[in-house]
Structure 1
Amino acid sequence: MSKLGSLGARLYRGEVGYDFVAKRKIWYGISILITITAIVGLAVRGLNMGIEFKGGAVFTTPRTTVSAAQAETAAEEAAGHDAIVQELGTGGLRIQVSSLDTKQADQVRAQLAEDLDVQAKDINADLVGPSWGEQIANKAWTGLAIFMILVVIYLAIAFEWRMALAALIALVHDLTITVGVYALVGFEVTPGTVIGLLTILGYSLYDTVVVFDGLKEGAKDITKQTRWTYSEIANRSLNGTLVRSINTTVVALLPVAGLLFIGGGFLGAGMLNDISLSLFVGLAAGAYSSIFIATPLVADFKEREPQMKALRKRVLAKRAAAAAKGESPDADGSADGDHDAVPEDAAAGSVVGQRSRRGRSTGTNR
């Protein structure tokens, strides 16, 4: 842990680093491949919507000796529709059957009572109409759209529209991957899933905003210096928050993994799957997009500006002149002077934190 903390401090000070921004085409390619896979899975398999969205009935039974598999067969024979059965901690069962009206639900409950050897009055039946389920789905999509709009407005005001656009793309990236995984594994989509999606969007934005804040601070008066290009400053900001982003994500993933793999898988608490899967996949995708998508996109957008193009030309010209004179690079971040150039092929991630021999001999610390 001490080594990790030391690495984080060195990354923050710019003494070491990895050039994420320069390799952005690789990350874009990986994201496009994963996103296409998610979209194909969604188109081919579709989402397994819960009865809260498509309507149906939920039967909750008292303790019974009948297994979940036997109850599933009995429910499907009684209802004529597919059934989803989950074991409860009380020893009872939760049986979901779609497309049932009140009369059909009463008939199914009576048949289940006979098959499961329990009293019909002890089986609780909750009905969800198709129209009500459609309203829930529409409200969920409306809430998600409002969330996206507010996020873009806030980021555009707090930072700038390019950062807001990059954050929006990263959020859509995370949502698409999470929804695609749901389609591929066939987990049921419930209101808990929607809650999970909104939660992971918040986590994703947290990491992204932290990097953007450092980038905004580091890019002040950027055109008044000839030491760094915008992409290199973006990379320095990303490296400075890298360990913190990883630590935050790992700490958040551990309890979620417990819910998903131990609670939902090993212990059989299937009701945990709907929210834990969205949290697990979304947190992982959000951490990836914050590092590999959002910041490189901002750098791409900014480098298209005339001012940043001119800055890049000045930086590269100064580096070429320094290389021609045989001067050693001075990577202390000074904005002017004779010793602030670095070799043209030196990336920000690999040169940050170096100190020139001349700076050390004179004792300067710019």
Structure 2
Amino acid sequence: MSRFGNLGARLYQGEVGYDFVGKRMLWYGVSILITITAIVALAVQGLNMGIEFKGGAVFTTPKADVSVSQATEAAGSVSEHIPIVQELGTGGLRIQISGVDTAEADRVQKDLAQELNIPADQINADLVGPSWGEQIANKAWTGLAVFMLLVVVYLAIAFEWRMAVAALIALIHDITITVGIYSLVGFEVTVGTVIGLLTILGYSLYDTVVVFDSLKEGQKDITKQTRLTYSEVANRSINSTLVRSINTTVVALLPVAGLLFIGGGFLGAGMLNDISLSLFVGLAAGAYSSIFIATPLVADLKERDPQMKALKKRVLAKRAAANAKGEDGQEPADGQDVPDGVTPAGAAAGAVVGPRNRGRGRPTGRRR
């Protein structure tokens, strides 16, 4: 077994673990900083809306001995708006100019034909009205609202309302960051962008539900023991699914990165750029939020429950008594210094609760 696989097995069995929940204020601070940056970028710079949302004209030329740079320069000279030129698989060009109405489209078509030395009747012109883009945007917002409502209802039924609230906050966090990145890099927002944004919601929710399912299993009969607080059980759930989350995220990111950096960067595939950037940022943000945001939020909300408060009080009291007697092998009390990185078994992330109690609590589950 590889070292990474061995580490994954030890994380799952509770032999080692990182204190994610204990350092949640750090993760909250990082997320707030990134979110504020995204909101400021949106407020100051805004989004570069595509022709589908602003309206304009799309001119398609036949195969010609004209480069993309030459066509961009020619299109820029015949219109006041910045053109977007893409090379088609047939060898022709797709020239997109926003803010062009019917009357201006005829003039631009003739001027383009002259600049590119192509007969005007061989250049196809398609007009796109802004009302169509507005309809697409309204449908996207409606779909997003319905999706989030269904997510909250399902998670509240399958798990509990605290997990539903945490998952909703994580989804909003992921969308805000993705849209903010679009604003910062200046990528054009097209229908492909909307498709990508709606797609990442499922990916983001997948990792979160995996951790929640582990947490639901780990919290069974939690109030009948005095070894772990709820936050420590939540931390163990994150560690037990950590390698799985990393593996699925990396496997999903690799083909998306190929679309973004190879398909979009080198081949100049326009819509691939729009979809792949939203997918790439959304997948990364979703993996981050499921580990560092959603589960710690559940722990914060759950620790306010009177039963969990009483449990935490009993656990800390038992540890204080054990420490006073000088007994070894006890879990460190909540708030005690724990070495950074990997903590030993028996610490907050490493102990076992509920159905995972095996062999008197030893990680191997073997009985003597």
Change (3 A) 1:76 1:270: same
Question: Residues 108-119 of structure 1 correspond to what in structure 2 (within 5 A)?
Answer: 108-119=108-119
Match of 1:27 in 2: 27
Which letter does structure 2 place at the counterpart of 1:272? L
Matched, 1:183 2:180: no
Question: Tell me, what secondary structure is at the counterpart of 1:125?
Answer: strand
Which letter does structure 2 place at the counterpart of 1:162? R
Match of 2:258 in 1: 258
Change (3 A) 1:259 1:223: same
Matched, 1:145 2:145: yes
Matched, 1:58 2:58: yes
Q: Aligned equivalents of 1:124 and 1:219: distance in 2?
A: 64
Match of 1:342 in 2: 331
Query: Given that residues 320 and 343 in structure 1 are in contact (C-alpha distance below 8 angstroms), is that contact kept between their aligned partners in structure 2?
Result: no
Question: Residues 1-366 of structure 1 correspond to what in structure 2 (within 5 A)?
Answer: 2-329=2-329, 342-344=331-333, 345=336, 350=344, 351=347, 352=350, 365=367
Task: Give the structure-1-normalised TM-score.
Answer: 0.90
Moved more, 139-148 or 247-256: 139-148
Which letter does structure 1 place at the counterpart of 2:271? M
Which letter does structure 1 place at the counterpart of 2:209? V
Question: Tell me, what secondary structure is at the counterpart of 2:17?
Answer: coil
Question: Tell me, what secondary structure is at the counterpart of 2:126?
Answer: strand
Query: Given that residues 236 and 351 in structure 2 are in contact (C-alpha distance below 8 angstroms), is that contact kept between their aligned partners in structure 1?
Result: no
Q: Aligned equivalents of 1:359 and 1:242: distance in 2?
A: 22
Match of 1:334 in 2: none
Deviation sequence 1:310-355 (CA, Å, 0-9, x none): 10000000111111222222xxxxxxxxxxx523237695421599
Which letter does structure 1 place at the counterpart of 2:247? N
Query: Given that residues 256 and 276 in structure 2 are in contact (C-alpha distance below 8 angstroms), is that contact kept between their aligned partners in structure 1?
Result: yes
Which letter does structure 2 place at the counterpart of 1:205? L
Query: Given that residues 192 and 271 in structure 2 are in contact (C-alpha distance below 8 angstroms), is that contact kept between their aligned partners in structure 1?
Result: no
Which letter does structure 2 place at the counterpart of 1:198? L
Query: Given that residues 328 and 342 in structure 1 are in contact (C-alpha distance below 8 angstroms), is that contact kept between their aligned partners in structure 2?
Result: no
Which letter does structure 1 place at the counterpart of 2:311? L
Q: 1:306 deviation in Å?
A: 1.1
Deviation sequence 1:65-123 (CA, Å, 0-9, x none): 22223322322332332211122233222111112222322222222122112232322
Match of 1:332 in 2: none
Match of 1:336 in 2: none
Moved more, 287-296 or 77-86: 77-86
Deviation sequence 1:200-229 (CA, Å, 0-9, x none): 111110000000011011111211111110
Unaligned runs of 5+ in 2: none
Match of 1:333 in 2: none
Q: Aligned equivalents of 2:141 and 2:76: distance in 1?
A: 31
Change (3 A) 1:167 1:359: closer
Q: Aligned equivalents of 1:131 and 1:343: distance in 2?
A: 62
Question: Tell me, what secondary structure is at the counterpart of 1:327?
Answer: coil
Q: Aligned equivalents of 1:17 and 1:132: distance in 2?
A: 52
Change (3 A) 1:136 1:343: closer
Question: Tell me, what secondary structure is at the counterpart of 2:296?
Answer: helix
Change (3 A) 1:39 1:56: same
Deviation sequence 1:228-252 (CA, Å, 0-9, x none): 1000000001000000000000011
Q: 1:177 deviation in Å?
A: 0.7
Query: Given that residues 359 and 365 in structure 1 are in contact (C-alpha distance below 8 angstroms), is that contact kept between their aligned partners in structure 2?
Result: no
Deviation sequence 1:101-158 (CA, Å, 0-9, x none): 2232222222212211223232222211122221111111111121111111111111
Question: Tell me, what secondary structure is at the counterpart of 2:94?
Answer: strand
Query: Given that residues 227 and 315 in structure 1 are in contact (C-alpha distance below 8 angstroms), is that contact kept between their aligned partners in structure 2?
Result: yes
Question: Tell me, what secondary structure is at the counterpart of 1:144?
Answer: helix
Task: Give the structure-2-normalised TM-score.
Answer: 0.90
Change (3 A) 1:46 1:289: same
Unaligned runs of 5+ in 1: 330-340
Query: Given that residues 84 and 96 in structure 1 are in contact (C-alpha distance below 8 angstroms), is that contact kept between their aligned partners in structure 2?
Result: yes
Question: Tell me, what secondary structure is at the counterpart of 1:19?
Answer: coil
Superposition RMSD in Å? 2.2
Query: Given that residues 56 and 97 in structure 2 are in contact (C-alpha distance below 8 angstroms), is that contact kept between their aligned partners in structure 1?
Result: yes
